[in-house]
Amino acid sequence: MMRLGGNTFSDLCAKELELCGLREGEVVAVLTQGDERLDYADAFLSAAEGMGATAFHVRLPRQSSSLSGDSGSWTVGTTPLGDNRPAVEALKAADLVIDTMFLLFSKEQLEIQGAGARMLLCIEPIEHLVQLFPTRDQRERVEYGGELLGKASELRFTNRFGTDVSYRIGVYPVITEYGYTDQAGRWDHWPSGFLFTGGADDGVNGTVVIAPGDIIYPFKTYAQTPIHLRIESGRIVDIHGELDADLLRDYMASFEDEKAYGIAHIGWGLNEKARWSYLATDRRGLGMHGRSFYGNVLFSTGPNQEFGGTNDTQCHVDVPMRGCSLFLDEQPIVVDGDIAVEEMKAPGLVAAG
């Protein structure tokens, strides 16, 4: 069993389950697929049992798409759980479901949440889970941001490369991700540290210029050349630029799905422990260093059914962007890649030289 500074991964899972408010007598289900993350299942099951919960394991016989982005394409929303009704029913009976396969954007996830189960996604490499372990302080700052976002009707963000795009918001709920969940029916992702909402389906307009150094998931690369996206009424209508633009255009076209050009979630990162540069030397996992780093504006394209929309495309691209300024009804929230609101600032941040 992996040792982490004197603790086992199971000890760490126990700490995470504590943050999730796990109580004696509650039911914990761990979902895995194929032979993936069976060590995660073991760690969670023994942690849950140790805390007096009733724990069980739902293991699906086959794997879905390439979550790690190392081979094949990363598709979302359709998983092997979709045609396994008994497994869905078993998961609905739990108080807490640990998802190690990525159910986000699926109908089954919404059904399980609807049954009252709280859900925790846990797929990242163990080292990342340790480095970015969530805190109550992170929750407070993310929830503060959630309140600001929930009150606003327009979100606009810019960067010095020519981004200027506006989202009409307030149509869809705000989703907070602070890394754990203790509320019935609520989903979260260990470790996270960001928040987002979605623009109205036809309410996103303007230009996004993905700048050199911005991260493109699922490619897991830093853009080297600017990519210009023109967005009209919530649809990408033009992608131009150099090599990176060609790559993104071809990737999106490969899904042969008009819905791939929709606009997904929009928000910002607050996790001061996450590093923009991390991906340069560690490409494992989904990539939460890159998605969560402090002051990034996380722009994304594709599906929006995770917050109640109807776009169910399997083509999802996340783009954490640096150096942006983001405004809610003209109030500056992020300015040049730094958090501008006192209540959301990370404690003890040491500025880079």
Residues that bind Fe ion (CB under 5 A): 300, 318
Place of tokens 């979302």: 76
Q: Between residues 116 and 308, which has the closer beta carbon with respect to Fe ion?
A: 308
Shortest distance in whole angstroms from residue 56 CB to Fe ion:
29
Length of the chain in terms of residues written: 353
Phi, psi (rounded to 5 degrees) for 271: -95, 105
Q: Between residues 11 and 318, which has the closer beta carbon with respect to Fe ion?
A: 318
Q: β-strand 204-210 against 164-168: which pairing, if any? A: antiparallel
Shortest distance in whole angstroms from residue 143 CB to Fe ion:
20
Distances (CA, A) of 206 to 20, 183, 229: 39, 37, 8
Q: Between residues 158 and 300, which has the closer beta carbon with respect to Fe ion?
A: 300
Shortest distance in whole angstroms from residue 311 CB to Fe ion:
13
Residue 88 per-residue DSSP state: H
d(CA 256, CA 333): 37
Shortest distance in whole angstroms from residue 63 CB to Fe ion:
20
First to last CA, the chain: 39
Provide DSSP, 29-58.
EEEEETTTTHHHHHHHHHHHHHTT-EEEEE
Q: Between residues 55 and 236, which has the closer beta carbon with respect to Fe ion?
A: 236
Secondary structure (3-state) at 185: coil
Shortest distance in whole angstroms from residue 236 CB to Fe ion:
15
325, 335 Cβ separation under 8 angstroms? yes
Q: Between residues 28 and 260, which has the closer beta carbon with respect to Fe ion?
A: 260
Q: Between residues 112 and 288, which has the closer beta carbon with respect to Fe ion?
A: 288
289, 126 Cβ separation under 8 angstroms? no
Q: Between residues 214 and 318, which has the closer beta carbon with respect to Fe ion?
A: 318
d(CA 86, CA 56): 14
Shortest distance in whole angstroms from residue 190 CB to Fe ion:
16
Shortest distance in whole angstroms from residue 175 CB to Fe ion:
10
d(CA 4, CA 7): 5
Q: Between residues 32 and 192, which has the closer beta carbon with respect to Fe ion?
A: 192
| Residue nearest Fe ion, CB atom distance | 318
d(CA 262, CA 316): 9
d(CA 295, CA 291): 10
Shortest distance in whole angstroms from residue 25 CB to Fe ion:
35
Phi, psi (rounded to 5 degrees) for 331: -80, 125
Q: Between residues 41 and 270, which has the closer beta carbon with respect to Fe ion?
A: 270
* Residues ≥6 apart with Cβ < 8 Å to 352: none
Shortest distance in whole angstroms from residue 314 CB to Fe ion:
13
d(CA 262, CA 259): 5
Instruction: Name the amino acid, one letter, at 26.
Output: E
Q: Between residues 46 and 181, which has the closer beta carbon with respect to Fe ion?
A: 181
334, two tokens: 């992020």
Shortest distance in whole angstroms from residue 302 CB to Fe ion:
8
Four-CA torsion 121, 126, 127, 132, nearest 10 degrees: 30
